[in-house]
Amino acid sequence: MSAEVIYGSELAEQLRIEMKKEVTTLKEKGIHPKLTVILVGDDPASKSYVSGKQKASDFVGMTSDLILLPESTSEDELVQMITKLNNDETVNGILVQLPLPDQINEQKIIEAIDPNKDVDGFHPINIGKMLTNQETFLPCTPYGILTMLKSKNIEISGKNAVVIGRSNIVGKPVGQLLLNEHATVTYCHSRTKDMENYIKNADILIVAVGKAHFLTGEAIKPGATVIDVGVNRLPNGTLTGDVDFETAKEKAAYITPVPKGVGPMTITMLLKNTIQAAKNQSK
Ligand code: GUN
C-alpha cells in the first residue's frame, strides 16, 4: 500500500484564496485586518519564516508590518514596544518571532501581548481556553495539523494519537487539540522508555522532534496517519522532515511531506487568526 500524501501546500492555497475574498468583504465594511510581526536579531531561519508570513499576508490583502529590532534589545524595550501595539487600534494581531535572544524572558514577552491580539495563541489565557475547549486563538501549527486531518475526513474520535515531542508551540497543544476531538492521546519524548511500543499502536502519529529520519516505516502501524512537523536541513542543503518519507509512505494510509506539508498550513492559520482578531475587535 502506498499512502495518500496530504499536501498542506495545496490546502493552504485553497484556504488563502477564500481568505482573500473574506478580506475584500471585510474591507468594504471598513475592517482592515492588520498583523504586526516583531523580529529581534537576525537569525536566518527566523528571517525566512517572517518573510513567508509577509508574502502570505500580502496575498490575502492583509496589512503586515514588520518591526526589526537589534539583537541587543532589552526585555523592557520589547515590552514597551508590545504595550504600544496593544494600545494601537489599527493593529489586530501581534506576533513576536521566537526564539528570542538570551537576555529576554520569552514567557514574560508572551504574557505582555494582549490576549485579544495574541494570534499565535501562546498567551496563558488563550492556552487555558484551549484546554477547556472554549473558542480562542489556537496555536498555528497544531491548528494547521487539525485542519489537514479534517480536510481528509480522517477519524480522530476514539483513535490512538501519539505525539512525539512536547514543546509548548507544537507537541503539547497538538495533543490537547486531538484530545478535544476525543482521541486517546499519548505524549512521547526524550525520556520515554520503549517508545516503539507506543508508536506501533498509534493510529495518528504526530512527529515533532527535530531529527531527520527519526521515524522509519518499520516502526509504524499499517494504515496509520503520519504527520511530520520536522524541518531539518541536511548537509547537502535539502530540507527534510523527522520521518523517513519513502519507507513510511509504504506503511501509512496518510502522510504529510516536508516541504509542502505542515509548514504552509502554519502560516495560513496565522492569517486566519488575524482575520478573526480583526472581526472580534470590530464588534
Ligand atoms: N518560531 C517558530 N515557530 C513559531 C511560531 O509559530 N510563532 C512564533 N511567534 N515564533 C515561532
Cell of 167: 514543546
Inter-residue contact 33 to 173 (CB < 8 Å): no
> Is the domain covering 140-262 a CATH 3.40.50.280 domain?
no
- The pLDDT tens digits of the residues spanning 182-226 come to 999 999 999 999 999 999 999 999 999 999 999 999 999 999 999
Supply the pLDDT for residue 258: 98
Residue 156's contacts (CB-CB under 8 Å, 6 or more residues apart) are 149, 178, 181, 182, 183, 204
Ranges of CATH 3.40.50.10860 domains, the chain: 30-113
Q: Is the pLDDT of residue 163 over 90?
A: yes
pTM, two decimal places:
0.97
Ranges of CATH 3.40.50.720 domains, the chain: 140-262
How many Å lie between the centroid of ligand 1 and the Cα of residue 261? 17
> For the chain, how big is the Rg over CA atoms in Å?
19
Complex-level ipTM: 0.96
Superfamily of domain 30-113: Leucine Dehydrogenase, chain A, domain 1 (3.40.50.10860)
Atom number in ligand 1 closest to CA 141: 6
How many Å lie between the centroid of ligand 1 and the Cα of residue 194? 31
- The pLDDT tens digits of the residues spanning 221-251 come to 999 999 999 999 999 999 999 999 999 999 9
The answer to whether residue 97 is catalytic is: yes
